[in-house]
Amino acid sequence: MDDVDKFTCPCCSYIVKILMVQNKNTILKNIRFHGRGGQGMKTASRIVGTASFIGGYFAQDFPVYGAERRGAPIIAFTRLSDNPILERGIIVNPDINIIADETLLKDSAANVLQGTWDGTITFVNTHYTASHVKDTYQVSGKIAVVDITDIALKIINKPVLSSVAAASACKLTGIISRDYLQEAVIKELTDINLKKEVIDKNVQAALTCFDNTPSISSPDLKFSEEENENKVVQLEYADARVGSARVYESGNTIMKKTGNWRFFKPVIDHDRCSRCRACFVHCPHSCISLDESGYPHIDYDNCKGCFTCMDECPKKVITKEREVRAW
């Protein structure tokens, strides 16, 4: 590893050179969360930070936003230690890498596996097996998989992943207990003024997810060089022509498909459709077109799953179906 670590931000594509002051902690866990805007990764990182604090550890947590739009990739970070944490900034080489949306694995701009190493435990929210994910994406280190979306849908009735993603991260640290997790979920969700009924469901979902996340022991793990070395280096700025070259690439918007942002897709029952065109008119992203007979058809490559069409349909012939990812 070089004296100066480089990291390409998945949100803004800037190349950032990291400077860190490292101390030799007995325990230091670097946790990185990847998800999409609206899934709750910022809150997940806060819950883990708060659970760590309740457990008597020092903790940091913070998010980094890029486009700041619903569905866009975001990252958040949590550090916890039994000693004061002197380092600042983003986590380049995570010990635990939480990927809350499996579609990000194929997004080269998000580059969610960047900086992972042999000691990294990568967690993926998916119904596929760990061996399938590891082989498909050549994941370094150990891997754990749990379909936390399924748990959230069954208990919370919404694909909100903050509590369940935090629960998996807490379990993988090996040092945060169920009691600390439960207390942290209640505190963080109370602070954002959620109703008690909603908080209770989140607690239930989090504890279920905690129990379903495998315990991964790592007796052979060694701290990364990032943790072992005391480094004080200077911050440098990477030239924008290198860090943000995409702005010079014209005509590539059509290549960016936004259909993989959704958890559910709208499905039109053409046998009951009256061809009123309400869905066609109200679709905010122009993802519905009409065929020669006037029937609406959805562009699933770009439909984000906002369900404005379903809400506006006067005959209620548009239904919601959960997406099934096929790799």
In this predicted model, what pLDDT tens digit does every residue of 253-276 receive, in sequence order?
Answer: 777 778 877 778 999 999 999 999
pLDDT of residue 67: 62
Global confidence as pTM: 0.75
Structure tokens at 270: 């053409």
Enumerate the β-bridge partners of residue 290.
Answer: 296
In this predicted model, what pLDDT tens digit does every residue of 294-307 receive, in sequence order?
Answer: 999 999 999 988 89
User: Comparing C-alpha atoms, which of 57, 53, 55, 9 is closest to residue 34?
Assistant: 9
Give the whole-angstrom CA distance, residue 276 versus residue 313.
9
In degrees, rounded to 5, the angle at the alpha carbon of residue 196 between the alpha carbons of residues 195 and 202 is 95
Whether 19 has a pLDDT exceeding 70, the answer reads no
Higher pLDDT, residue 26 or 124: 124
Whether 113 has a pLDDT exceeding 50, the answer reads yes
The rounded percent of the chain whose pLDDT value lies above 70 is 80
Mean pLDDT of 20-44: 79
pLDDT of residue 269: 96
Burial string for 183-196 (b: 16+ CB within 10 Å, else e) reads bbbbbbbeeeeeee
